[in-house]
Amino acid sequence: MSVIKNKYPILERDTDKLAVIMANSAGEKNLPQKCVFAFLGETIENYASKIHAIKIDEYESIIRRYPVYKTIYKGEKVCFCESPVGAAASVQMLEFLISRGVNEIIACGSAGALLDFDENEVIIPVKALRDEGTSYHYLEPSREIGLNSKAIEAIKKASNKLGLKYVEGKTWSTDGFFRETREMVKYRIEEGCIVVEMECSALAACASFRNSVFGQILFTADTLANLDSYDRRAFGISAHEMVLKLAFEAVTM
């Protein structure tokens, strides 16, 4: 029996890798193995236009379509795309990409600083606290998940090559954007989290389940370090092209 039952539904899962609805029912494998998976909004579309990248596929959700582009970087084929925000939505798209041939993924996106970081600092998560629901459909319950060591090393090497300073640490992946209360933020900081975002632990769990390599680059945007005065800052917009370049370097290491 593949279904593992529990008193709490969020902790129940099925180990069977086949589902009633699969991400790629046609079985088409049209994407490069390497992929940059970005939470960078219009930066992806602008970059694709700037380098004359080719649109080779698209992920269709209920509300919009997400183009998937292909380019050649350092002599290697790399696909790249914008991801929807949130654990469940981003994992659906990751499933689609993996089903189409992707198996080495570097994600990049913003995070809220929990410590006294300047805006636009590069954070390499080595662990992610699983405070979202999606990851529990893929892996057995645990408090946190470690990210793939191969991907971490590739990001570090790429950062060094580009002369970018970085901080390694644990990120807090949460579904509750408006439930980051003062006491909860303090609690997460006490257990070692240095930034907060919404997808990392779920994406890492999905990639592990699908036998793919996944790593993530985060950059500090807003800050929750001062609990009495939340600061949105410029939300890290000026870091977009920098982390996108870093992601391409890392995925081709």
Domain-wise residue ranges, the chain = 31-251
pLDDT at residue 25, rounded to an integer = 76
Which of 59-63, 86-90, 231-235 has maximum average pLDDT?
Answer: 86-90
| 104 pLDDT above the threshold of 70 | yes
pLDDT at residue 6, rounded to an integer = 93
Question: Which stretches of the chain are assigned E, i.e. beta strand?
Answer: 3-4, 13-14, 34-39, 54-60, 65-73, 76-82, 104-113, 122-131, 144-146, 166-174, 193-197, 213-223
| 128 pLDDT above the threshold of 80 | yes
pLDDT band at 135 (very low <50, low <70, confident <90, very high): very high
| 202 pLDDT above the threshold of 70 | yes
Q: How far apart (Å, rounded) are the C-alpha atoms in residues 100 and 66?
A: 15
pLDDT band at 79 (very low <50, low <70, confident <90, very high): very high
Overall residue count recorded for the chain in this entry: 253
Q: Which two tokens stand for residue 72?
A: 């050649």
Q: How far apart (Å, rounded) are the C-alpha atoms in residues 8 and 78?
A: 41
Question: Which stretches of 83-165 are assigned E, i.e. beta strand?
Answer: 104-113, 122-131, 144-146
| 161 pLDDT above the threshold of 70 | yes
pLDDT band at 201 (very low <50, low <70, confident <90, very high): very high
Q: What is the mean pLDDT of residues 176-201?
A: 97
Task: Label the pairing between strands 76-82 and 34-39.
Answer: parallel
In the chain, what are the helix, strand and coil shares in percent, each to the nearest 5?
Answer: 30, 30, 35
Q: What is the mean pLDDT of the chain?
A: 96
Closest CA relative to residue 206, chosen from 132, 154, 152, 143: 132
CATH homologous superfamily of 31-251 equals Nucleoside phosphorylase domain (3.40.50.1580)
| 63 pLDDT above the threshold of 90 | no
